Chain A
Amino acid sequence: MSRFRSVLARIIGLVDTARDEVPNRSETRSSLVNDELEERVRARTAELMAANQALEAQIAARVQVECALRDSEERFRQLTEHIREVFWVYGVAEERLLYVSPVYEEIWGHPAQSLLDRPLEWIESVHPDDRPRVRAAHLEKLESGVFDQEYRIVRPDGAVRWVWDRGFPIRDAAGHAYRIAGLAEDITLRKLAEDQLRRQQVELAKTSRLSLAVEMASTLAHEINQPLAAIVAYAQACLGLLRKDRIDPRALTGALEEVVNQGLRAGGIIRQLRDLVRKHPAVQTAIQLNALIHAVIHYMQLELRQAGVAPRLELADSLPMVLADDIQVQLVVLYLIRNAIEAMNETDGEPRELVLRTTLDSPSTVLITVRDTGRGLGEEAAARLFQPFFTTKPSGMGMSLSVSRSIIESQGGELWATANPDRGLSFHFTLPVHSSHELSPAP
């Protein structure tokens, strides 16, 4: 740029000298000629100045573009060389890869250059099980410019990695996709985590089913032992009377009638339990939470009575149905009630208040709260509350709260605990409203 300026300065200098020389050499020439020349020089100078300015502006602009280009190239290079994803550009007309970022080597285990030399190398490295699918998607991509596949690759060292590869078309002014740009990401860790999560969920489903079975069996055993104990005692009393020849028909009849009654009572308990777990085909169904809570309370009557706890129900009048696995939600409600009972058993002489509340939290969520007046928890215990095997109770396994939380989360809800302002804890959980019931109140 400065060179242009100095050249220009020299030209202007020559013109000036010529102008100075003119009057000296031909003073006799007419002033008209003089004036005309001067005018032409002035015009020429102005032209040159304008051209110079335009040139300067052009140069500045080009420098800016060059710098910007260099910056953007640098940025692009940095980006493609440092991001964890492989960046690739495919030329449709060229029918080959135009660019692939160096991280390719890290993921695939082949140098990036080898991919440029042998464009089909990437498809050869795809796991044989995934290859047909990926090849089909690749052909489809050439048509549509769009590609989105997760597949496994086998590295030269035999290691298998999961890749998420997706491409999108780059179009020219006429709208033709002339290039396809894409990103391929190593998602092996995520896949492993997903696998693990799935395995854990399967385990959890087993665990919660198992806890349910244990729960049922334990309650069944406890409740049925009462009439059984009575039946055995009545029958043995009858035997005792008969052996001693003290046959008072009235006493024997009364006792035998009681044997019958207690047998029927045991049958009733089993029937009631069977109703609770009857046919359970769909995992998630539309359920009426208020009815479910009533059923659980009914089922736990004995336990509540023995603990000296009368639950207070604050159930919302027109609660929509929720979408959930009813058996599992029953188990959660049961666990939370039992947890509350146990928390209050530890206190002496304090009032034992158990409140069960249902509210419509939002048009799409129902909130259930189980509130006790137990001892509450210290900060440390509160933080570990939902960890498996954490318990503050001498006989507890510490599984019920962690199982409960997993159940609720698997149903699309949340479960958490808060300390009450006065005393005790409240456990809350949410469940999604069944979509077709969002607006209509439940029966």
Chain B
Amino acid sequence: MNAVPTVFVIDDDQAVRDAISLLLRADGLAVATFASATVFLESTSVQQPGCLVLDVRMPGMSGLDLQKQLRARGSRIPILFMTGHGDVPMAIRAMKAGAFDFLEKPFQGELLLERVREALVLDVRQRVRQARRAEAAARLALLSPREWEVLDRVAAGQYNKVIAAELGISLSTVEIHRKRVMEKLQAESLSDLIRTLALANERE
């Protein structure tokens, strides 16, 4: 998480790889280049924050295959595809599979830089959100079954009295459970509580 967001350029054409790397570095971005999708997948970079600038058509594992592999591993890193002439059907497949964007070779350097910056911002946002989601899930895991029952009903907007009657416990017991839940979830208010719950329940 503390690594510098990096642009991973993956293209089998050495000149293209080198030129794009230079272009991005000239703009002050951290760049790492890879000659094939396989080399990238096997490197530690695959865990790091940033974005991918990926050639759609490569020998061995294609750009589309790499996209599939990354998604299967749960990686949400944004992917900017580069396509050659006549690769439009592939580009469409890439977009359907959740690609960030695609650029047709040769492309304007300005456009690449702009899209790369947007991709990096998206990646940071996604990672922050993911971290918060993980944190919320971790806190919720601390709750006892009884506290869950109370939380469910509080979140549904029920009054303590109703909850006590439904669960067959005293009002003061409900209040104690409720206080514990607030503490465990580090919630200051009912809206904090509900936000944490919603965050944890969010689908990726």
* A222 contact from B82, B85, B107, Cβ within 8 A: B85
Interface residues of B in 93-121 (CB under 8 A from A): 105-110, 112
Q: Evaluate contact between B26 and A228: CB separation under 8 angstroms.
A: no
Judged by a CB distance under 8 angstroms, whether B13 is at the interface is: yes
Interface residues of B in 5-60 (CB under 8 A from A): 12-13, 15-16, 18-20, 22-23, 25-27, 57-60
Known: A221-B86, A222-B85, A237-B23. A227 touches B59 (CB 8 A): no
Across the interface, which residues of B come within 8 angstroms of A233, CB to CB? 16, 19-20, 22-23, 106, 109, 112
Q: Evaluate contact between B15 and A394: CB separation under 8 angstroms.
A: no
Across the interface, which residues of A come within 8 angstroms of B89, CB to CB? 394-395
Known: A255-B22, A258-B18, A308-B60. A232 touches B84 (CB 8 A): no
A104 to nearest B CB, angstroms? 62
Across the interface, which residues of B come within 8 angstroms of A237, CB to CB? 19, 22-23, 25-26, 109
B24 to nearest A CB, angstroms? 8
Q: Evaluate contact between B16 and A236: CB separation under 8 angstroms.
A: no
Interface centre among A229, A239, A258 (most CB of B within 10 A): A229
CA distance A261 to B18 in the complex (A): 13
* B16 contact from A218, A226, A240, A305, Cβ within 8 A: A226
Q: Evaluate contact between B106 and A225: CB separation under 8 angstroms.
A: yes
Chain B residue, CB-CB nearest to A236: B109
Judged by a CB distance under 8 angstroms, whether A262 is at the interface is: yes
Q: Evaluate contact between B105 and A225: CB separation under 8 angstroms.
A: yes
Across the interface, which residues of B come within 8 angstroms of A226, CB to CB? 13, 15-16, 84, 105
CA distance A232 to B110 in the complex (A): 11
Q: Evaluate contact between B106 and A262: CB separation under 8 angstroms.
A: no
Interface residues on chain A, size class = 20 to 34
Interface residues of A in 303-333 (CB under 8 A from B): 305-308
Q: Evaluate contact between A305 and B27: CB separation under 8 angstroms.
A: no
A267 to nearest B CB, angstroms? 14
Across the interface, which residues of A come within 8 angstroms of B22, CB to CB? 233-234, 237, 251, 255
Chain B residue, CB-CB nearest to A302: B59
Across the interface, which residues of A come within 8 angstroms of B107, CB to CB? 229, 232
Q: Evaluate contact between B26 and A221: CB separation under 8 angstroms.
A: no
Known: A222-B84, A258-B15, A395-B89. A236 touches B106 (CB 8 A): no
CA distance A237 to B12 in the complex (A): 20
Q: Evaluate contact between A218 and B15: CB separation under 8 angstroms.
A: no
Chain B residue, CB-CB nearest to A233: B19
* B19 contact from A225, A229, A244, A307, Cβ within 8 A: A229
CA distance A297 to B38 in the complex (A): 26
Known: A236-B110, A246-B26. A218 touches B60 (CB 8 A): no
Across the interface, which residues of A come within 8 angstroms of B58, CB to CB? 306
Q: Evaluate contact between B105 and A229: CB separation under 8 angstroms.
A: yes
Across the interface, which residues of B come within 8 angstroms of A244, CB to CB? 26
CA distance A305 to B19 in the complex (A): 22
Q: Evaluate contact between B19 and A218: CB separation under 8 angstroms.
A: no
Known: A241-B26, A244-B26. A218 touches B86 (CB 8 A): yes
Number of residues on chain B facing chain A (CB within 8 A):
29
Across the interface, which residues of B come within 8 angstroms of A240, CB to CB? 23, 26-27, 109
Judged by a CB distance under 8 angstroms, whether A230 is at the interface is: yes
Determine the main DSSP class of A at the interface with B. Answer: helix
Chain A residue, CB-CB nearest to B83: A225
A368 to nearest B CB, angstroms? 26
Chain B residue, CB-CB nearest to A265: B15
Across the interface, which residues of A come within 8 angstroms of B25, CB to CB? 237
Across the interface, which residues of B come within 8 angstroms of A229, CB to CB? 16, 19, 82, 105-107
Q: Evaluate contact between B59 and A306: CB separation under 8 angstroms.
A: yes
B142 to nearest A CB, angstroms? 44
Across the interface, which residues of B come within 8 angstroms of A239, CB to CB? 109
CA distance A233 to B62 in the complex (A): 22
* B84 contact from A225, A231, A262, A394, Cβ within 8 A: A225
Q: Evaluate contact between B13 and A230: CB separation under 8 angstroms.
A: yes
Interface centre among B86, B108, B112 (most CB of A within 10 A): B86
* B15 contact from A221, A261, A307, Cβ within 8 A: A261
CA distance A395 to B107 in the complex (A): 25
Interface centre among B23, B57, B59 (most CB of A within 10 A): B23
A262 to nearest B CB, angstroms? 5
Chain B residue, CB-CB nearest to A251: B22
Across the interface, which residues of B come within 8 angstroms of A218, CB to CB? 85-86
Across the interface, which residues of A come within 8 angstroms of B13, CB to CB? 226, 230
Across the interface, which residues of B come within 8 angstroms of A222, CB to CB? 84-86
Q: Evaluate contact between A234 and B19: CB separation under 8 angstroms.
A: yes
Known: A240-B109, A308-B59, A395-B89. A230 touches B15 (CB 8 A): yes
Interface centre among A228, A232, A239, A306 (most CB of B within 10 A): A232
Known: A230-B15, A230-B16, A237-B23. A307 touches B105 (CB 8 A): no
B13 to nearest A CB, angstroms? 5
Across the interface, which residues of A come within 8 angstroms of B19, CB to CB? 229-234, 237, 255, 258, 262
Across the interface, which residues of A come within 8 angstroms of B60, CB to CB? 308
Chain A residue, CB-CB nearest to B60: A308
Residue positions of A touching B, CB distance < 8 A: 218, 221-222, 225-234, 236-241, 244, 246, 251, 255, 258, 261-262, 265, 305-308, 394-395
Residue positions of B touching A, CB distance < 8 A: 12-13, 15-16, 18-20, 22-23, 25-27, 57-60, 62, 82, 84-86, 89, 105-110, 112
Known: A225-B105, A226-B105, A232-B106. 12 other contacts (CB 8 A): A221-B86, A229-B16, A229-B82, A229-B107, A230-B15, A231-B106, A232-B107, A236-B108, A240-B23, A240-B26, A262-B19, A308-B59
A-B residue pairs in contact (CB < 8 Å), sample of 19: A221-B85, A228-B106, A230-B19, A231-B106, A232-B19, A233-B16, A233-B22, A233-B106, A233-B109, A234-B22, A237-B22, A237-B23, A237-B26, A238-B26, A255-B22, A306-B12, A306-B62, A308-B59, A394-B89
